[in-house]
């Protein structure tokens, strides 16, 4: 009787293994490829002499935080030396729930320090922008295309000095914002 019981258990295990190997997992779902959660892109403003990079990371499902450090070093008209350093932040709300691809909208802010000088005049200042952007990011096998446009306000405070003379000027204006970026997502 024990051998008969053992044969039944072994036969049952063989049948179960055969069903499993032959595709008995038909009800199981295949693993879906995961959407990228990081992106590193170069904005088109690089063509204007701006050294910049945009890094975005997923902070929650359907949400991304983009950090954009910037640096400009240039000679203006062969006589002025200009330099600027800044950083921008954009919080993105993706409409389709995928953090790195699709349509998005969100608030954006940027802070910049600028210095321009020649032999006679030195000017320096800070500027800030705040606004909102609407954009679309496509990802194909890691290759990333990001387009965004928006509108906001800009405040700039500039101080210029020459010898013993110094003057400051602040400006408040509305500004369009936008860019196209290419890069990689993972």
Per-residue model confidence as pLDDT tens digits over 73-97: 877 777 778 899 999 999 999 999 8
pLDDT of residue 2: 52
DSSP 8-state symbol, 44: G
**Residue 12 covered by a domain:** no
Supply the range of the domain harboring residue 61.
36-185
Polymer length in residues for the chain: 186
10-30 pLDDT, tens per residue?
A: 444 444 444 443 444 444 445
38-43 and 122-140: which strand pairing? unpaired
Long-range contact list for 160-168, CB < 8 A, 24+ apart? 160/121, 160/122, 160/123, 161/121, 161/122, 161/123, 162/120, 162/121, 162/122, 163/120
Would you say residue 47 lies in a domain? yes
Average pLDDT of the segment spanning 125-141:
96
What per-residue confidence (pLDDT) applies to 173?
96
pLDDT digits (tens, 9 = 90+) for 34-63: 778 999 999 987 777 778 899 999 999 999
Do 147 and 135 meet the contact criterion of CB atoms below 8 Å apart? yes
- Number of domains within the chain: 1
Judge whether 131 lies within some domain: yes
4-8, 83-87, 136-140, 142-146: segment of lowest average pLDDT: 4-8
pLDDT at 33: 57
Highest mean pLDDT among 7-11, 13-17, 133-137: 133-137
Question: What is the model's pLDDT at position 65?
Answer: 97
- 21 in any annotated domain: no
Any domain includes 166: yes
Domain contains 13: no
For the record, the structure tokens of 6 come out as 């053992």
DSSP string of the chain, one letter each residue: -HHHHHHHHHHHHHHHHHHHHTTTTTTSPPPPPPPP-EEEEEEGGGGGT-EE-EEEEEEETTEEEEEEEEEEEEEETTTEEEEEEEEEEEEEEETTS-SSSEEEEEEEEEEEEEEEE-SS-EEEEEEEEEEEEEEEEEEETTEEEEEEEEEEEEEEEEEEEETTEEEEEEEEEEEEEEEEEEEEE-
- Within a 13 Å sphere around the CA of 174, how many CA atoms are in the beta-carbon half? 3
Give 92-127 pLDDT, tens digit per residue: 999 998 778 999 999 999 999 999 898 888 999 999
Domain contains 62: yes
pLDDT for 12: 47
What's 97's DSSP letter?
Answer: S
pLDDT, mean over the chain = 84
Kindly state the helix (H) or strand (E) to which residue 6 belongs, with its residue range: helix 2-21
Residue 97 sits in a domain whose CATH number is: 2.40.160
32 or 90, higher pLDDT: 90
Q: Residue 180: inside a domain, yes or no?
A: yes
Q: Which residue has the higher pLDDT, 73 or 156?
A: 156
């Amino acid at each position: 009787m024990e051998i008969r019981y053992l044969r039944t258990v072994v036969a049952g295990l063989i049948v179960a293994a055969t069903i499993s190997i032959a595709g008995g997992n038909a009800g199981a779902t295949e693993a879906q490829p995961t959407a990228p959660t990081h992106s590193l892109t170069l904005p088109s403003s690089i063509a204007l002499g701006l050294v910049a990079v945009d890094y975005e990371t997923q902070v929650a499902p359907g949400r991304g935080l983009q950090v954009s450090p910037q640096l400009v070093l240039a000679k203006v008209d062969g006589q002025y030396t200009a330099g600027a350093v800044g950083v921008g932040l954009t919080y993105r709300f993706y409409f389709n729930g995928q953090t790195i691809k699709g349509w998005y909208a969100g608030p954006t802010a940027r802070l910049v320090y600028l210095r321009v000088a020649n032999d006679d005049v030195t000017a320096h200042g800070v500027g800030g922008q705040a606004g909102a952007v609407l954009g679309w990011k496509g990802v194909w096998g890691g290759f990333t295309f990001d387009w965004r446009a928006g509108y906001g306000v800009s405040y700039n405070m500039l101080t210029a000095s020459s010898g013993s003379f110094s003057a400051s000027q602040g400006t408040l204006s509305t500004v369009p914002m936008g860019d196209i970026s290419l890069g990689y997502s993972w």
